[in-house]
Structure 1
């Protein structure tokens, strides 16, 4: 008879708790309830594994999805990122003007600064609105049990 090393839930030496033995403690293979006992033990071990390894991460994921912590952090970064991007673009434009010897007058400079400020405000608003929409989608996806990645791939396929 071939011997197998099997871990049971009651094993203190296994990663899920339980003892290893040559028979595995699975009972008598000739018993009329051997199959259901084996299935029940495997199910208990799978449940113990889920509770031990996956459940804490699931709880952490759900608490992050339900809370506003990540959203608030991202919204705070958006303003800085947009401001840095527009500042870099303005600096590049000034350097280009200097290279070509262009010196915009007061009205031109004021017009550029006003247009730049409006574009920056619009970009910030659009980025924050998109972030809020994505956070809401992520929340609903988490509550439905769907992965956000799968939803995003479907949106890409549909072109939205």
Structure 2
């Protein structure tokens, strides 16, 4: 199954909408916290972070969105994301069975209107070289996406 905000599977058509709504709320939350958040960010580990956010201090956050129990159980690649962020969070809807999530990771509850951090993520600082390379990669990705949007509306 490809990494994506829109997981395929037996959960039916509502799951992609749930994931997209959670993503919207999480991105609003991080904007309010002073972060620049970008969805669907490719990582050098041949994975894609659902959301990567960067603050003015250069701190990276990765958020892994889980839309349902089956999505969490089917996708156990999230530990590979830990080498690419200072903080890692799971983001889920309010009715998600939170007891199945690892207690040692951050937790965000969200919907299309906003989100809230229920459990802070433990800080594990990135290697300086990776931080520099990743900052450049995220800036390039965001700039390229903005240029595409401008091309579409122009």
Q: Which of the five TM-score ranges fits, normalised by the shorter chain?
A: under 0.3
TM-score norm. by structure 1 comes to 0.22
Report the structure, 1 or 2, having the larger helix content.
1
Structure having greater relative contact order (Cα 8 Å, sep ≥ 6): 2
TM-score norm. by structure 2 comes to 0.23
Report the structure, 1 or 2, having the larger strand content.
2
Instruction: Pick the structure with greater CA Rg.
Output: 1
